[in-house]
Amino acid sequence: MVRRTGLGKAESDAIRRVLLAPLPGECKGDFTLAVKPMRIALYQPDIPQNTGTILRLCACLGIEAHIIQPAGFPTSDRAFRRAGMDYLDAVALVRHTSWQAFEAWRRERGRRLVLFTTGATLSYLDYRYEAGDFLLFGRESAGVPAEVHEAADARLLIPMRPGLRSLNVAVAAAMAAGEALRQIGTMKP
């Protein structure tokens, strides 16, 4: 499921079908998806392997994925398939042509924006997530600009040992998604 911006009833129904469709064998688990999924947004990603890993994470956990363009690589379905992204049909993927288009789309729907950044002071473990939150991750090479920081409803940090720069963005996304899903109770063993 791929859209630029704005979802009508038909598109929303299609996303719902994708989220509830059977997943590839290695993703199957004994869990229940919530009606309102968590969402991961990638701000202008520049490493395709990380994006592919995050899309696979979203497919396996029933999380809607959003790519805020421009990206540092081609993000068409064809490009993802040529790169071996065999989970593309199992992920609800929405592409936004710019930060401004994404922000207008998000605000129209009243969704919170939770930015993960090394510049935050609040731990991601101390934050109270809600169904439908956007977990936003910046570019691997540069993070996000001040405009994006200012738009965030919360800025969270994944604590690390001193002297180390940052986690891989796909690892950070997996940690954040796991905690958010645990808190909102969408995955029940």
Using the structure block, give the residue that is written with the tokens 């379905």. 77
pLDDT surpasses 90 at 3: no
Q: At 77, list the tokens.
A: 């379905």
Residue 49 lies in a domain: yes
The pLDDT value given to residue 79: 86
pLDDT surpasses 80 at 163: yes
Q: Are strands 122-123 and 154-157 parallel, antiparallel or unpaired?
A: parallel
Residue 77 lies in a domain: yes
Residue 24 lies in a domain: no
The pLDDT value given to residue 174: 98
**In sequence order, what are the beta bridge partners of 93?**
2, 65
Give tens-digit pLDDT for 55-83: 999 999 999 999 999 999 999 988 888 77
Q: Report the predicted TM-score, pTM, of the whole model to 2 decimal places.
A: 0.81
Q: Are strands 134-137 and 2-3 parallel, antiparallel or unpaired?
A: unpaired
Under DSSP, the state recorded for 126 is G
Residue 31 lies in a domain: no
- Least Cα distance to 177 among 140, 122, 107, 124 occurs for 124
Residue 28 lies in a domain: no
In whole angstroms, give the CA distance from residue 72 to residue 75.
9
Write the CATH number for 9: 3.40.1280.10
* Main-chain dihedrals φ then ψ at residue 24, nearest 5 degrees: -55, 150
In whole angstroms, give the CA distance from residue 50 to residue 35.
27
Under DSSP, the state recorded for 68 is E
Give tens-digit pLDDT for 33-53: 433 579 999 999 999 999 999
- Residue 139, domain extent: 2-18+36-184
Residue 30 lies in a domain: no
Residue 27 lies in a domain: no
High-pLDDT (> 90) share of the chain, %:
68
Query: Total domain count for the chain?
Result: 1
The pLDDT value given to residue 20: 42
Residue 116 lies in a domain: yes
